[in-house]
Amino acid sequence: MSVLEIKGLTKSFGGVLAVSNVDLLLDEGEIHGLIGPNGAGKTTLLNLISGLLLPDRGEILFKGVNVTRRPAFLRARMGLARTFQITNIFKEFTVRTNLELALLGRYTNYRNLWTKVPPSVSEKAFAVACEVGLTSQFGLVAGQLSHGEQRALEIGLALCSSPQLLLLDEPLAGMGPKESEWMVELIRRIANERSLTVLIVEHDLDAVFRLAQRVTVMVYGQVIASGAPEIVRSNPDVQQAYTGS
Amino acid sequence: MTALLVFEQILNSLQYGLMLFLLAAGLTLVLGIMDMINLAHGSLYMLGAYIAASVYMATGDFVLAVAGAALGMGVVGLLLEFAVVRHLYHRDHLTQVLATFALILIFNELVRIFWGPQPLLMSVPPALSGPIELLPGLYYPTYRLLIIGVGLVLAVGLFWLVNRTRMGMWVRAGASNREMARAMGVDIRILFRILFALGAALAGIAGAFLGPIFAVQVGMGENVLTTLIVAIVIGGIGSIKGAFVGALMVGFVDTAGRAFLPLLFYHLASPDVASNLGPTLASVLIYVLMAVVLFFRPQGLFPVRT
Amino acid sequence: MIRLLPWLFIAFLGVFPLLAPGGGEDFYVSVLTKVMIYSIAATSLNLILGYGGMVSFGHAAYFGSASYALAILMREGIVSPWLLWTVPLILSVILSFFVGAIVLRTKGLYFIMITFAFAQMMYYVAISFKQYGGEDGLKAGRAHLPFLYLDDMAFYYVTLAALILSLGVLRKLLRSRFGLVLQASKENELRTIVLGYNVYSIRLIAFVISGALAGLAGMLMAQHTQFVTPYHLSWHFSGHLIMMVILGGAGRFWGGVLGATVLSGIEELFQNLTIHWQLFVGVFMLAVAFFGQGGLIRFVGGRK
């Protein structure tokens, strides 16, 4: 069964068609790249999938369930996690508290809302911190971390809910070559270890073609190509979109 | 309940609504463009009324009184913007609430100091105090008709300013996207200052005209502010069109409600219930209206930002 | 050492009436009772404003409606202390639930203005009932308990107990997941939602708890002064409560208590100086708005 299935998704903002009739299919365990020039609607698509925006038309099926109009927090509780293009962490809280919050998100209900944070959660938080390489920064306030460390925390937050689907919005944004290399390895490792399905939006084409098993290209809100990286790479329309436009 | 009575109430609603619009327009632009809540807007209205009343009592010239209020409040608006308000634009809403609330207290007390705690009596100018026969048998106070006239002229003027001039274009751009306005090369600071002063002047005019109808007293600003906020919420923050529709709706519901609801209750229920429930319900009618509008359109009828 | 200061204050409150010259009839006992009531109200607002980031400009509604509920019950001849002590509270809870359910769907300026509008609605409703005092207010009384006659001293201690209870509730909330998520939603609402939290629901719960505590304060006020006034439903009062929270320290545990105490003291001071004391309160408020971020608690220390 496919983890994510999108059919005919359309969204416009006051006359501007941001996402136009997009189809997409993600299999379990797949790393799928989403590329395209700026303004192609990639982030809008992620927002639609994660529930921060509601589409005008179309369907989104997550694990076979129709979530097209389901509130964002419910989709998160189903196992959908995402990162943001601009780092979106709790800057005033420590790395530890950030992760604890993320760990509790999916499993907090009206009954345990009144209890304290159990120590087991703190241990798990530390484990996730190790996983993303933030062991020594565990007690620091998130706002004090370097850009790369904050991006790592961003990924860490997404992992905490043990998601089945991970949406990454330009995880390499603002990173130098060494950090990018490290981030690519991190993504590859966590995707493998956790058998995650990943949809990754990126401008760094090198990284995308190394990570992804399949790639989709969007231009002006439409999908113009989709398939194995080499095929997409050699597609003349795609080449035109990147060089000609 | 005659047709004449209904017509009279419609005219009263129009008059009240148009004055509310003058006030709402200034406030909604500040809210929409500067993203700033200015609770002291009611105080500007009050100050305008006081200035008009004083000028009128001193000179007996009503036109001078209105002009004095408009100009005076324009100046006050400029000074206030420069001294206090412009430091609030980049602050959070909580700070703006606290600061402008403090301004209300300060203005109220300053008025008490300069004019005393007693209400001022501003009478309708004698030339305008008589009724006009609009239709055979239908008499309507000349003064209120004048207010409607002035209100309509100013409303048209505002619409023209916002929709047909360059400054208006900047205003509309700024209302929907502040960054874009800045990118267009508009000196935001000057624009804000002029806008604020314009809003203050309009508030002053409204105060001058409504002075003879409502009492000129400390606290008149707060009463009107509540109605104003309801009108803006209904109309949609930042939108002149919304302010117009919202103000007229509120003007109508409030005026007609107060006039007809008690009558309705008299017919439907016992006099006891009517004399209690009628006025009570009439006073909350505008809030019911607001709740209904918000239910269908949480951002008001014509919000500027999506 | 400085961390103990607030606790010393509570201890001071505990023993003061016993040491006071008038032995309970004292003017100061009455003043401190009022300060404690305002402390409860300010603390309740601090929960949603300071910790939750919800700028509610209509908090007076829950305070005042509980006051009025008590007075109206008494006016209608209800004498049972069970009813008198619980009905106003239940009313506050119901009111804050329904208002919150509607109002929390909005944000930013809309939220501020709509909370303001709803509170004003209740103000106008209250003053429109001529048989319940209209603009002049209504007499109330003390709801004496079967085992305790509420003279000034007894009532003082009941109020102190209520204050400690309120602070206890706040403490429990802040240490739980609820408190953590509430503060998270203030810090970064989007992130909190995307992590799977029902932020609307959390905020509504906070709003209701806050309303209940404000109702408790309102009910106590009506009994303390044995009079209810529409002022306690007005936005002037809402503004005062906001002022107390900011002055004391928004999002700090003792912020409400500190702000209520200091503001009451300052107003008392100004009132004795000049008839135009409101001018000075206004200027003071303006200064706090511009320079007072963080509140006085910065100088006293203490934890969040």
Q: Which of A111-125, C105-119, C216-230 shows the highest mean pLDDT? A: C216-230
DSSP category for residue A155: H
Helix (H, G, I), strand (E, B) or coil at A167: strand
**Is residue B98 situated within a structural domain?**
yes
Q: pLDDT higher for B299 or B268?
A: B299
Residues of chain A above pLDDT 70, percent: 99
Q: How confident is the model at residue C303, as a pLDDT?
A: 57
Q: Which structure tokens are listed for C185?
A: 């939603």
**Is residue B4 situated within a structural domain?**
no
Cα–Cα dist C185/C51, whole Å: 9
Is B161's pLDDT higher than 60? yes
Is C37's pLDDT higher than 70? yes
Cα–Cα dist B192/B77, whole Å: 11
Cα–Cα dist A116/A109, whole Å: 13
User: Does the distance separating the beta carbons of C281 and B37 come in below 8 Å?
Assistant: no
For chain B, which chains pass the contact test of at least 3 CB pairs under 8 Å? C
Q: pLDDT higher for C140 or A215?
A: A215
Site from C169, C177, C193 to mutate, A interface, most A CB atoms within 10 angstroms: C177
pLDDT in tens, B41-89: 999 999 999 999 999 988 888 899 999 999 999 999 999 999 998 888 8
Cα–Cα dist C148/B4, whole Å: 64
pLDDT in tens, C69-80: 999 999 888 888
**Is residue B109 situated within a structural domain?**
yes
- Residue B292 at interface with chain C, using a CB cutoff of 8 Å: no
**Is residue B126 situated within a structural domain?**
yes
CB atoms within 10 A of CB B146: 17
How far is the CA of A232 from the CAs of A4, A25, B91, B257, in angstroms? 21, 16, 49, 67
Diameter over CA atoms, chain A:
58
In this prediction the pTM is 0.90
pLDDT in tens, B179-210: 666 676 667 778 888 889 999 999 999 999 99
Domain extent at residue B245: 9-296
Sequential DSSP letters for B5-69: HHHHHHHHHHHHHHHHHHHHHHHHHHHHHH----TTHHHHHHHHHHHHHHHHHHH--HHHHHHHH
Q: Which structure tokens are listed for B170?
A: 């900047």
Band the pLDDT of C275: cuts 50, 70, 90.
confident
User: Does the distance separating the beta carbons of C120 and B287 come in below 8 Å?
Assistant: yes
DSSP category for residue B141: E
Q: Which structure tokens are listed for B64?
A: 């001078």
Is C169's pLDDT higher than 60? yes
Residue numbers in A near C180 (CB within 8 A)? 97, 100-101, 104, 117
Strands A31-35 and A214-219, sheet pairing: parallel
Cα–Cα dist A37/A82, whole Å: 21
Q: How confident is the model at residue B182, as a pLDDT?
A: 66
Residue C268 near residue C261, CB atoms below 8 Å: no
Q: How confident is the model at residue A24, as a pLDDT?
A: 92
Q: pLDDT higher for A243 or A197?
A: A197
How far is the CA of A192 from the CAs of A129, A189, A211, C160, in angstroms? 18, 5, 11, 59
**Residues contacting residue A70 through CB under 8 Å, at least 6 positions apart:** A51
- Shortest Cα distance, chain C CAs vs residue A234, angstroms: 37
| Residue B255 belongs to domain with CATH number | 1.10.3470
- Shortest Cα distance, chain B CAs vs residue C156, angstroms: 31
**Is residue B303 situated within a structural domain?**
no
User: Does the distance separating the beta carbons of B35 and C130 come in below 8 Å?
Assistant: no
User: Total domain count for chain B?
Assistant: 1
Residue C299 near residue C289, CB atoms below 8 Å: no
Task: Report the DSSP beta bridge partners of residue B216.
Answer: B120
User: Total domain count for chain C?
Assistant: 1
Domain extent at residue C73: 2-300
What is A1-79+167-245's CATH number, 2.60.40.10, 3.40.50.300, 3.40.50.10540, 2.60.120.590? 3.40.50.300
Residue A94 near residue A86, CB atoms below 8 Å: no
Q: Which structure tokens are listed for C99?
A: 């208002």
Task: Report the DSSP beta bridge partners of residue A12.
Answer: A17
- Residue B35 at interface with chain C, using a CB cutoff of 8 Å: yes
Cα–Cα dist C252/B205, whole Å: 45
Is B3's pLDDT higher than 80? no
A33-61 burial, b at 16+ Cβ within 10 Å, e below that, comes to bbbbeeebbbbbbbbbbbbbbebeebebb
Q: How confident is the model at residue A245, as a pLDDT?
A: 47
Tell me, rounded to whole angstroms, the distance of Cα A37 from its chain centroid: 18
- Residue ranges of chain A that CATH labels 3.40.50.300: 1-79+167-245
Which residue is associated with the tokens 């508030």? Answer: B203
| Residue C247 belongs to domain with CATH number | 1.10.3470
**Residues contacting residue B213 through CB under 8 Å, at least 6 positions apart:** B143, B144
Helix or strand run (H / E) with residue A11: strand A4-13
pLDDT in tens, A19-38: 999 999 999 999 999 998 88
